[in-house]
Amino acid sequence: MKSVFVTGAAGFIGSNLVDRLLADGVTVTGWDNLSTGQERFLQGALQHPAFRLVRGDNLDLPALTAAMRGTEFVFHLAANADIKDGWAHPKKDLEQNTLATANVLEAMRANGVRRIAFSSTGSVYGEAALIPTPETAPFPVQTSLYAASKVAGEALLSAYAEGGQLDEAYVFRFVSILGERYTHGHVYDFYRQLLAHPDRLRILGDGQQRKSYLYVQDCVDAMLRVTRAQTAYGAPHRTQVYNLGTAEYVRVADSVTLICDALGLKPTLEFTGGDRGWIGDNPFIFLDTAKIQAAGWKPRLTIAQGIGRTLQWLEANRWVYSARDAGPAASA
């Protein structure tokens, strides 16, 4: 892996991956429309001679194809990750996740790029009957537009691989990721509330939802371990699917306690009620990670440690709140 193309390069996971690849001597082309990503996350990468950032949208196939020219591996991380408000903009998941993935695959085909890693989600399992949930679990009825769009993306990858258009396809089904440059999720939302009113915290659902989380550097470690080992090469259908998560989970209420204790706060907790926070919220997400661990990977940080690292970063980088509110112009 000498020359890599990263979609969503200015995002949370993408920018951390870019830094790791550059440190390992890889030439990287970053691609991002900066709708949610922050150019500031690439401050170090932009000073590196082996990095190039191209601002563009995955829906612009000619521009995407031109930008990808000369690379040999694609990490496709760009996506709309707004599960909670999916029904406020139904086309967004279709366009930014499914159609965008189709364009990435067509740009690869035009350039003769035959290796790809795709960021999917543990949400594709819906409300799984089997816990912890292995990669071989049957897919239930989908419960969110986001998950449905990711299932479609996975299907496109496997179809291109089966059709002889790809030599290696890697699908990573993430739990929620935590860590430095985190700008979306429960720690981000809770900390924002507590900055505004330290005396109270509104929590969607009853707080008994059980979730698993993974530290971002552990996530990057896992992706690089199997893609560098080329585990999909010669695999059935030229495709490998991996769950990425920790071998533990926490209740939302327990996560709230960790956050409040770390900040030295004792707010009044206001629960909205019900066993889920929104339409499509899965009350229990816990993935079986035996397959990725058999490849020699294991997470370094616990969920509690990941939450702590995330809070420390948010406290030192409160600018992300105003930047996200201001939109793309703030990241230029």
Retrieve residue 207's tokens: 């707080």
Distance, in Å, from the CA atom of 299 to the CA atom of 297, rounded to the nearest integer, reads: 7
Distance, in Å, from the CA atom of 75 to the CA atom of 26, rounded to the nearest integer, reads: 13
Contact 23, 195 (CB under 8 A): no
Distance, in Å, from the CA atom of 190 to the CA atom of 260, rounded to the nearest integer, reads: 9
Q: How many residues does the chain have?
A: 332
In 3D, which of 235, 249, 245, 234 has the Cα closest to residue 290? 245
Contact 65, 102 (CB under 8 A): no
Tell me if residue 146 is catalytic: yes
Retrieve residue 226's tokens: 């199997």
Distance, in Å, from the CA atom of 33 to the CA atom of 246, rounded to the nearest integer, reads: 31
Given 146, 170, 188, 213, the catalytic residue: 146
- The answer for residues whose C-beta is within 8 angstroms of residue 200's C-beta and 6 or more apart is 193, 267, 268, 269, 270
Sheet strands side by side (includes 3-7): 51-55, 27-32, 3-7, 73-76, 115-121, 168-174, 239-244
In 3D, which of 251, 256, 281, 250 has the Cα closest to residue 269? 256
Phi and psi at 72, nearest 5°, equal -125, -10
Catalytic residues: 146
